Amino acid sequence: GLSTESYCRRHEITIVGDNVPPPYTSFESTGFPSEILREVQSAGFPSPTPIQAQSWPIALQGRDIVAIAKTGSGKTLGYLLPGFIHLKRSRNNPQLGPTVLVLSPTRELATQIQAEAVKFGKSSRISCTCLYGGAPKGPQLRDIDRGIDIVVATPGRLNDILEMRRISLQQVAYLVLDEADRMLDMGFEPQIRKIVKEVPARRQTLMFTATWPKEVRKIAADLLVNPVQVNIGNVD
Ligand code: ADP
Ligand code: MG
């Protein structure tokens, strides 16, 4: 309707996709469970950011998304909160592997994502761990063995652990490629492709990127199924 159009125009949102649901312009309209809304309120956030407003309803429909938006636009909660909903609905046993998998280019970013997942997932009793290189594997393997709902990983370390056969991705139902352009710039494409081969084809895949060059388009075309494309701001 008109309000969707004016919201999108005001926030420079452009969408490529069919039957896209209207944005959630307030937290209340998301229908998120109260324990999640409580965490968002206590963080003091006034309203969803444009990428959240437009990604959440699409993600909650179970559709694949490519979101192109600059740093600082709130992408982390944009994919984490629908991931939480996935977890609440799933009957997976975390000891058999994670249900949500987030790939991130660096240890620093992976740690920030984990911190956000822990903060906003605390009252939902969601567990999250981080797997990255340059640190001993022992504690990371122990976390995996203990059972974890969400794994945030750099592609190199996750691939090492997969080759050791110390993690199963057979339960992953919600896969996020965060900062996809940066992961490709860092040369992680072969690892990403190996990892995705271990994830069931029946899954939801979300890709977040700041830029949209042809290498990113190619991997999106290979790994996502009929994604809705959400652009925030001016994209080349
Ligand atoms: P991006 O991944 O797009 O770079 P982040 O997810 O790291 O952005 O979010 C940037 C900052 O904005 C973080 O400090 C985050 O906690 C905060 N933030 C997230 N959502 C909101 C919101 N709806 N309102 C205000 N701040 C938010
Ligand atoms: Mg980010």
Tell me the domains of the chain and their CATH numbers.
2-232 (3.40.50.300)
Instruction: Write out the E strands in the chain.
Output: 13-16, 65-68, 100-103, 128-131, 150-153, 174-177, 204-209, 228-232
Q: What pLDDT was estimated at residue 131?
A: 98
- Ligand 1 center from residue 198 Cα (angstroms): 30
Kindly report the protein residue whose alpha carbon is nearest to atom 16 of ligand 1.
74
Which of 39, 49, 108 should be mutated for ligand 1, with most atoms under 8 A from CB? 49
- Ligand 2 center from residue 169 Cα (angstroms): 23
Q: What pLDDT was estimated at residue 112?
A: 98
CA angle 41, 44, 49 (to 5 degrees): 90
Kindly report the protein residue whose alpha carbon is nearest to atom 13 of ligand 1.
74
- Ligand 2 center from residue 179 Cα (angstroms): 7
Is there a contact between 12 and 234 (Cβ–Cβ < 8 Å)? yes
Task: Please give the chain's pLDDT, 236 residues, in tens.
Answer: 557 889 999 999 999 999 999 999 999 999 999 999 999 999 999 999 999 999 999 999 999 999 999 999 999 999 999 999 999 999 899 999 999 999 999 999 999 999 999 999 999 999 999 999 999 999 999 999 999 999 999 999 999 999 999 999 999 999 999 999 999 999 999 999 999 999 999 999 999 999 999 999 999 999 999 999 999 987 65
Is there a contact between 176 and 196 (Cβ–Cβ < 8 Å)? no
Of the candidates 137, 229, 155, the one whose C-alpha atom is nearest the C-alpha of residue 192 is 155
Tell whether ipTM is more than 0.90: yes
User: Which residue ranges have their beta carbon within 6 Å of ligand 1?
Assistant: 45, 48-49, 52, 69, 71-77
Strands 204-209 and 228-232, bridge-based pairing:
unpaired
Q: What pLDDT was estimated at residue 235?
A: 62
Of the candidates 186, 198, 189, the one whose C-alpha atom is nearest the C-alpha of residue 220 is 189
Q: What pLDDT was estimated at residue 5?
A: 87
- Ligand 1 center from residue 182 Cα (angstroms): 19
